[in-house]
């Protein structure tokens, strides 16, 4: 009976408080906007049903993470209000049992959280059925989707979070500790789970997430097809079921523990943490310890001084006390000890790629691991602003929580001393954290055997750039606490403010002048150093520092002193505190805001054009509406390009004088030329024949020139142009956005052919999002046509010959596509002539940097490698792959057509490598950090082999924009690399390579989806496709499959290729007996599963070994909706037996590999061989069963 009375009292008390209702409203708003904008990244322009189970589930789980930080005050009040208000001596002595007391309060907190989380479903419903919703993307109302999202996700998370929050608050006797409990759960849900996942412990990562985001989204995002995401209901199964069971079990265990540990007894004035820390304190003896008699003391008169010197000493004292309070608190020790230790572990794990160690160079460590963007928290650094919010509340309310506020408020200490002292104390904590992070970076470098320390860079970035951002946010957090004057409400306001900073772009607020503490981010690389990124960063931070100063003035004026804390009273006190000095400081702050803001606005909006995302979408829609009618009209074809480029790195300018030779290859005369100059550069054009401007649309970037005399079929003309790169201040996002790469810098200049004018209407500039097209009344666009809908005669984009003379400073090397014909010096500058007499296609790229250059010849090919001088460790590994690729691919797929091949290190810390055009392969600075050790897996060889494959698949054989296009380019490039690895390094190395490829990061396997002939998802293009091609080559024969691909290249040299074209050639070389396998690999989505249940062996009297396998086989065909149909297995499958593996080997020496006819279900296979076996099984090289794990087993000797 008393249980329900306590429950009703607690529920009624809290339901009248503001924060449950505020939390409910915020959850409704968050769910509403999340549902409306479909916050999950949708990469293809295909419709999503707004109220699909996938969207409802995703919004539910992400909302739980926001709720976790918004509403801990509800639980904290229920668990520790009696102790906080010092009422516990009365309540603990009342005739109530421990079960009634704890149970009633816990249940009230849980029910309140359940009601708050109900707002998520309300918000989703309002988003679907409220005003402004698009009825075209609303499906039928399915209550089960909302009930599963609420019951299986929201309620389980409510129980888990309430348990941890209640426990933390109950044991400390402080309601605010519930927020710390939420932070720990958030920490486990995001950084810890992500770390385990990146470490390859995928199942453990899915189980370690208390909120379930990773378990749910990993399953739904990576394994569900688009059809499934629209219709399939979320259910607890697999790893998600185990995740919920484990964490519910942990919660129940925690509740049992706190019940057994809690006592309805008098609590000490110091909490358990202070008792723990006092054990390590040194006790100072005093005369009172030895003298018990009363003593009379004469207290001398002290001169009272309240000048600036005293106030500075007071500030220092407050700062020291604040620092000490935080650093000895659980939150402080967590942030300064546990967080750096975990960060060290995380960085050590993440300092590898595909299992290959990365060189821990300082720029990479600092930009990728040891720093994070305050307003874009994409990794574990989101914990720092959350802890700032927490610490700000603890500092501002420290005296009031201890019951000493009246004593402190009566002291002759100005308000600015209290504010500044607490701010400095928090700032010292943040500075200490940054100093510890420096130690973390150096420790990682030492552990990895890297001793090129750059201490100055660590200090500049961590104690300079990043600390500045955190200090600005600390001012905001403290000011919010001072102004709101309600601890939990202020904490909520601070969190909402931070969320608004993070999600401002979703609200249409994109200019950094309007988002607190934001601005263009700095960049730092080995090649570019800071480049020109510090200037824009500094101007914006000075602007926000002026705002921070104004916030500090506001906090000082509204700082609470005494018992009168009403807002009206505080406003009256603020008028009294508004002295001439305060007014002067406020005027200075406001003046700096207007002065710095005006300067920034002049740069971002006057010198440069500022365009919001919505305006950009509007322009793309206008572009299609106004000029889409010109798509497909005959236009002259570019057959040659001639450029003279002058780069001035110190002045950050460049000039391009160029010309195109244009030929009319149509069968009708061309009367006008449609030209589109690049944005953000100044372009002037002329023709070698009379022409006049009919349309000059600078806003949409389209011009039309009418020729006085039409260009007859076969006739040609010359288009000459001048393109000027000129620095014009800085943009809202810094100096990078010039529409043509990353601009001209002192070292590390990089821009692309996008800076040059293009001919004709460009369909790729059209809107692709189905929602955007509906919004602007544009006709519906098919995502991608099927391969059968592509006209086989459609010609590929014409290639063109190329010549460029490029000049730069004397200490740099300039690079453009082509064979390097000449290099000379003139007037203190270097000049380079690049020529390609063979027509090339793709995107032209241009560089200027202090490169180390390596050149050699392979037959007719001029091989050029350009890398940063400090990145030459594994140059020979790269060249080994280049030479082997040219040898093997030329022999198998046709000759390499170009007279040059360039491998260029592109400025930037990204890991990627890619093909930018015929004969040009670029890799980011991160790629050149790969550090293969010994004879282990050599990612450099394999990745370069893949990119070299694109010189055939993508450059020579061009895929059509259709379903399956990725198979033509990416799948064939990876297949080529796999065959090269097997040829050069052997089948054991290939198995190791395929094992690395099977890692679920970044593309986890999908059982459902479209067949390969229509594949569009990354896993099919980058993994399933090459697996299928390699399996086919092992059955049909490598020579036959490669011959079919060689024929395909010859036939489609001048037209676009589809998977239908490829399949036709594969059918031609596949024997009739293997046509069913070809069908299973490409025409349907087939999944084979082979399992070696048991492997035994015994020695015969003849000395041979008889090996017996118990195996099981299964085959299913899955459609795009996830429906799986069992099919009979009736085919030949490899059975392999291997000797004991040597160090570094996976399988060991091959003793026996032969194909056996396998049927569905369990069966026995017996093999006799002369040598003792160690391991064996069915499909040992995973030709058909693409998931490793149970194919190979240890052979037990009988």
Listed range (305-309, 1066-1070, 1169-1173) with the worst mean pLDDT: 305-309
CB atoms closer than 10 angstroms to residue 841? 17
Q: At a CB cut-off of 8 Å and minimum separation 6, what does 670 contact?
A: 634, 635, 636, 664, 707, 710, 711
CA pair distance 115, 118, nearest whole angstrom? 5
- 588 pLDDT above the threshold of 80: yes
CA pair distance 1039, 1027, nearest whole angstrom? 17
Q: ∠ at Cα 351 (349, 356), nearest 5°?
A: 100
pLDDT in the model for residue 998: 79
Mean pLDDT on 251-257: 89
Q: Which domains does the chain have, with CATH numbers?
A: 2-267 (no CATH), 309-523+535-603 (no CATH), 798-925 (3.30.2010.30), 958-1084 (1.10.390), 1085-1198 (2.60.40)
Give the distance from CA 584 to its chain's centroid. 45
The residue to which tokens 């691909």 are assigned = 1045
pLDDT in the model for residue 796: 59
pLDDT in the model for residue 793: 60
Mean pLDDT on 547-556: 94
Q: Are strands 1086-1099 and 758-759 parallel, antiparallel or unpaired?
A: unpaired
- Per-residue confidence band for 739, with pLDDT thresholds at 50, 70 and 90: very low
Mean pLDDT on 595-624: 92
- Per-residue confidence band for 517, with pLDDT thresholds at 50, 70 and 90: very high
pLDDT tens by residue, 977-989: 999 999 998 888 8
- 302 pLDDT above the threshold of 70: no
- Per-residue confidence band for 579, with pLDDT thresholds at 50, 70 and 90: confident
pLDDT tens by residue, 666-724: 899 999 999 999 888 899 999 999 999 999 999 999 999 999 999 999 999 999 999 99
Q: Are strands 1192-1194 and 1175-1178 parallel, antiparallel or unpaired?
A: antiparallel
- 919 pLDDT above the threshold of 60: yes
- 277 pLDDT above the threshold of 70: no
Closest CA to 76 of 402, 403, 489, 399: 489
- Per-residue confidence band for 43, with pLDDT thresholds at 50, 70 and 90: very low
Higher pLDDT, 517 or 291: 517
CB atoms closer than 10 angstroms to residue 568? 8
Q: Which two tokens stand for residue 80?
A: 């520790």
Contacts 24+ apart (CB under 8 A), 596-599: 596/539, 596/542, 596/543, 596/546, 597/513, 597/543, 599/539
- Range among 351-365, 552-566, 882-896 with highest mean pLDDT value: 882-896
- Per-residue confidence band for 284, with pLDDT thresholds at 50, 70 and 90: very low
pLDDT tens by residue, 395-451: 988 888 777 777 777 777 888 889 999 999 999 999 999 999 999 999 999 999 889
Residue 53 near residue 232 (C-beta atoms within 8 A) = yes
CA pair distance 293, 618, nearest whole angstrom? 88
Mean pLDDT of the chain: 86
CA pair distance 31, 564, nearest whole angstrom? 38
The count of C-alpha atoms lying within 13 angstroms of the C-alpha of 742, restricted to the half-sphere facing its C-beta, is 16
Q: Where are the alpha helices (DSSP H) in 1012-1100?
A: 1018-1019, 1025-1036, 1038-1051, 1059-1069, 1075-1082
Q: Are strands 920-924 and 1130-1138 parallel, antiparallel or unpaired?
A: unpaired
- Per-residue confidence band for 351, with pLDDT thresholds at 50, 70 and 90: confident
pLDDT in the model for residue 791: 66
Closest CA to 267 of 334, 391, 173, 382: 173
pLDDT tens by residue, 158-181: 999 999 988 888 888 788 888 888
CA pair distance 84, 174, nearest whole angstrom? 6
- 42 pLDDT above the threshold of 70: no
CA pair distance 360, 176, nearest whole angstrom? 40
Listed range (319-333, 926-940, 1128-1142) with the worst mean pLDDT: 926-940
pLDDT in the model for residue 38: 54
What percent of the chain is modeled with pLDDT above 90?
A: 45
Q: Is the dihedral of CA 145, 150, 154, 155 positive or negative?
A: negative
Residue ranges of E strands in 960-1015? none
- 41 pLDDT above the threshold of 80: no
Q: At a CB cut-off of 8 Å and minimum separation 6, what does 22 contact?
A: 489, 492
For the entire predicted model, the pTM comes to: 0.86
Residue ranges of E strands in 464-612? none
Listed range (70-79, 142-151, 696-705) with the worst mean pLDDT: 70-79
- 193 pLDDT above the threshold of 80: no
CB atoms closer than 10 angstroms to residue 324? 13
The residue to which tokens 């300064």 are assigned = 336
Residue 191 near residue 202 (C-beta atoms within 8 A) = no
CA pair distance 675, 956, nearest whole angstrom? 27
- 2 pLDDT above the threshold of 70: yes
pLDDT in the model for residue 1147: 81
CA pair distance 1047, 1061, nearest whole angstrom? 10
Q: Which two tokens stand for residue 1004?
A: 């986890």
- Per-residue confidence band for 1004, with pLDDT thresholds at 50, 70 and 90: low
- 46 pLDDT above the threshold of 80: no
> Measured over all CA atoms, what is the biggest interatomic distance in the chain, rounded to whole angstroms?
119
Q: Which two tokens stand for residue 1109?
A: 């396998």
CA pair distance 22, 132, nearest whole angstrom? 24
Listed range (56-60, 112-116, 1031-1035) with the worst mean pLDDT: 56-60
CA pair distance 72, 1159, nearest whole angstrom? 58
pLDDT in the model for residue 280: 43
pLDDT in the model for residue 605: 92
Higher pLDDT, 437 or 40: 437
Higher pLDDT, 762 or 1147: 762
pLDDT tens by residue, 1036-1077: 999 999 999 999 999 988 788 999 999 999 999 999 999 999
φ and ψ at residue 117, rounded to 5 degrees: -70, -20
Closest CA to 873 of 910, 934, 928: 928
pLDDT in the model for residue 773: 82
CA pair distance 881, 875, nearest whole angstrom? 10
Distances (CA, A) of 1171 to 18, 638, 929, 1136: 78, 66, 43, 13
pLDDT in the model for residue 456: 94
φ and ψ at residue 652, rounded to 5 degrees: 60, 40
Closest CA to 478 of 561, 571, 553, 393: 393
CB atoms closer than 10 angstroms to residue 307? 7
H or E segment and range at residue 106: helix 98-129
CA pair distance 1127, 1085, nearest whole angstrom? 12
The three-state DSSP-derived secondary structure of 931-960 is: CCCCCCCCHHHHHHHHHHHCCCECCCECEC
pLDDT in the model for residue 935: 59
């Amino acid at each position: 009976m008393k249980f329900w009375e306590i429950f009703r009292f607690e529920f009624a008390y809290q339901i009248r408080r503001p924060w449950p209702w505020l939390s409910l409203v915020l959850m409704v708003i968050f769910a509403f906007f999340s549902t409306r904008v479909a916050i999950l990244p949708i990469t293809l322009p295909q419709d999503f049903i707004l109220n699909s189970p996938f969207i409802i589930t995703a919004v539910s789980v992400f909302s739980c993470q926001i709720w976790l930080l918004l509403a801990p005050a509800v639980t904290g009040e229920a668990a520790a209000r009696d102790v906080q208000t010092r009422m516990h001596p009365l309540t603990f002595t009342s005739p109530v049992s421990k079960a009634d007391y704890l149970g009633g309060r816990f249940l009230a907190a849980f029910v309140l959280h359940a009601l708050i989380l109900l707002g998520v479903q309300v918000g989703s419903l309002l988003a679907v059925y409220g005003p402004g919703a698009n009825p075209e993307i609303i499906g039928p109302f399915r209550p089960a989707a909302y009930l599963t999202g609420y019951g299986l996700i929201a309620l389980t998370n409510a129980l888990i979070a309430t348990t941890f929050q209640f426990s933390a608050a109950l044991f400390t006797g402080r309601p605010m500790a519930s927020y710390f409990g939420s932070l720990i759960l958030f920490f486990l849900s995001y950084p810890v789970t992500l770390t385990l996942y990146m470490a390859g412990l995928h199942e453990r990562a899915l189980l370690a997430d208390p909120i379930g985001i990773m378990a749910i989204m990993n399953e739904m995002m990576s394994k569900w097809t688009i059809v499934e995401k629209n219709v399939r209901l979320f259910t607890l199964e697999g790893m998600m079921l185990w995740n919920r069971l484990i964490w519910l079990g942990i919660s129940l265990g925690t509740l049992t523990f706190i019940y057994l540990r809690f006592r309805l007894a008098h609590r000490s004035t110091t909490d358990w943490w202070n008792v723990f820390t006092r054990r390590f304190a040194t006790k100072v003896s005093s005369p009172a310890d030895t003298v018990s008699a009363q003593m009379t003391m004469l207290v001398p008169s002290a001169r009272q001084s309240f000048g600036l010197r005293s106030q500075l000493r007071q500030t220092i004292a407050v700062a020291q006390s604040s620092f000490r309070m935080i650093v000895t608190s659980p939150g402080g020790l967590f942030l300064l000890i546990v967080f750096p230790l975990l960060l060290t572990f995380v960085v050590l794990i993440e300092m590898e790629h595909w299992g290959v160690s990365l060189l821990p160079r300082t720029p990479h460590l600092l930009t990728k691991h040891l720093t994070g963007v305050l307003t874009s928290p994409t990794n574990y650094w989101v914990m720092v602003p959350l802890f700032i919010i927490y610490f700000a509340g603890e500092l501002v309310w420290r005296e009031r929580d201890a019951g000493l506020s009246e004593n402190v408020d009566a002291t002759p200490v100005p308000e600015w001393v209290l504010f500044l002292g607490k701010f400095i104390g928090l700032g010292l904590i943040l500075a200490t954290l940054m100093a510890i992070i420096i130690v973390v970076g150096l420790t990682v470098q030492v552990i990895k055997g890297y001793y090129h320390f750059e201490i100055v860079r660590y200090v500049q970035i961590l104690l300079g750039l990043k600390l500045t951002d955190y200090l600005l946010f600390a001012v905001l957090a403290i000011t919010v606490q001072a102004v709101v004057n309600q601890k939990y409400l202020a904490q909520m306001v601070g969190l909402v403010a931070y969320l608004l900073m993070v999600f401002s772009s979703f609200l249409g607020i994109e200019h950094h002048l309007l988002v607190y503490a934001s601005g263009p981010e700095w960049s730092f690389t080995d090649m570019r150093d800071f480049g020109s990124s510090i200037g824009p960063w500094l101007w914006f931070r000075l602007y926000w520092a002026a705002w921070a100063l104004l916030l500090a003035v506001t906090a000082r004026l509204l700082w609470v002193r005494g018992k009168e804390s009403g807002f009206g009273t505080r406003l009256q006190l603020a008028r009294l505190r508004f002295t001439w000095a305060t007014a002067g400081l406020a005027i200075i702050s406001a003046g700096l805001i207007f002065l710095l803001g005006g300067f920034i606005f002049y740069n971002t909006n006057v010198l440069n054009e500022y365009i919001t995302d919505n305006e950009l979408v509007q322009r793309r829609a206008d572009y299609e509406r106004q000029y889409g009618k010109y798509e497909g009209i005959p236009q002259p074809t570019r057959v040659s390009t001639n450029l003279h480029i002058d780069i001035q790195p110190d002045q950050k300018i460049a000039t391009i004088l160029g010309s195109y030779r244009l030929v009319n290859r149509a069968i009708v005369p061309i009367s006008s030329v449609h030209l589109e100059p690049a944005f953000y550069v100044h372009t002037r054009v002329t023709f070698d024949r009379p022409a006049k401007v009919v349309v000059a649309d600078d806003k949409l970037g389209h011009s039309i020139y009418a020729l006085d005399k039409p260009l007859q079929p076969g006739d040609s003309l010359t288009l000459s142009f001048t393109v000027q790169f000129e620095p014009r201040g800085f943009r809202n996002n810094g100096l990078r956005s010039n529409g043509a790469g990353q601009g001209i810098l002192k070292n590390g200049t990089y821009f692309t052919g996008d800076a040059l004018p293009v001919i004709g209407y460009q369909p790729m500039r059209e809107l692709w999002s189905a929602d955007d097209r509906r919004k602007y009344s544009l006709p519906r666009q098919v995502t991608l046509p099927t391969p059968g809908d592509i006209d086989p005669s459609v010609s590929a984009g014409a290639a063109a010959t190329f010549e460029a003379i490029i000049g730069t400073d004397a200490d740099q090397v300039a690079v453009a596509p082509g064979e390097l014909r000449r290099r000379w010096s003139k007037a203190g500058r270097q000049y380079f002539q690049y020529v390609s007499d063979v027509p090339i296609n793709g995107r032209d790229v241009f560089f200027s940097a202090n490169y180390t250059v390596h050149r050699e010849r392979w037959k007719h090919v001029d091989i050029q490698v350009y890398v940063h001088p400090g990145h030459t460790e594994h140059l020979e590994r790269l060249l080994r792959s280049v030479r082997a690729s040219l040898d093997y691919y030329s022999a198998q797929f046709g000759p390499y057509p170009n007279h040059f091949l360039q491998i260029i290190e592109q400025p930037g810390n990204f890991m990627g490598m890619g093909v930018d055009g015929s004969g040009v392969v670029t890799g980011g600075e991160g790629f050149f950090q790969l550090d293969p050790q010994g004879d282990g897996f050599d990612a450099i060889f394999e990745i370069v082999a893949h990119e070299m494959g694109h010189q055939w698949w993508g450059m020579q054989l061009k895929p059509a924009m259709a379903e399956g296009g990725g198979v033509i380019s990416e799948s064939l490039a990876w297949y080529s690399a796999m065959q090269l690895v097997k040829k050069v390094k052997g089948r054991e190395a290939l198995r190791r390579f395929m094992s690395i490829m099977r890692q679920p990061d970044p593309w986890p396997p999908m059982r459902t989806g479209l067949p390969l002939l229509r594949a569009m998802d990354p896993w099919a293009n980058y993994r399933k496709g090459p697996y299928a091609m390699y399996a086919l080559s092992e059955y049909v024969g490598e020579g036959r499959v490669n011959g079919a691909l060689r024929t395909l290249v010859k036939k489609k040299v001048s037209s676009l290729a589809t998977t239908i074209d490829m399949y036709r050639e594969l059918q031609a070389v596949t024997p009739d007996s293997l046509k069913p396998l070809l069908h299973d690999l490409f025409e349907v989505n087939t999944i084979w599963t082979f399992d070696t249940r048991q492997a035994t062996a015994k020695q015969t009297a003849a000395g041979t070994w008889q090996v017996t396998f118990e195996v099981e086989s299964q085959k299913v065909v899955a459609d795009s909706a996830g429906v799986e149909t069992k099919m009979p297995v009736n085919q030949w499958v490899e059975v392999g037996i291997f000797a004991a593996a040597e160090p570094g080997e996976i399988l060991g020496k091959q003793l026996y590999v032969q194909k056996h006819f396998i049927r569905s279900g369990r069966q026995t296979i017996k093999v006799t061989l002369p040598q003792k076996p160690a391991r064996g099984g069915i499909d040992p090289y995973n030709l058909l069963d693409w998931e490793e794990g149970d194919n190979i087993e240890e052979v037990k000797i009988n």
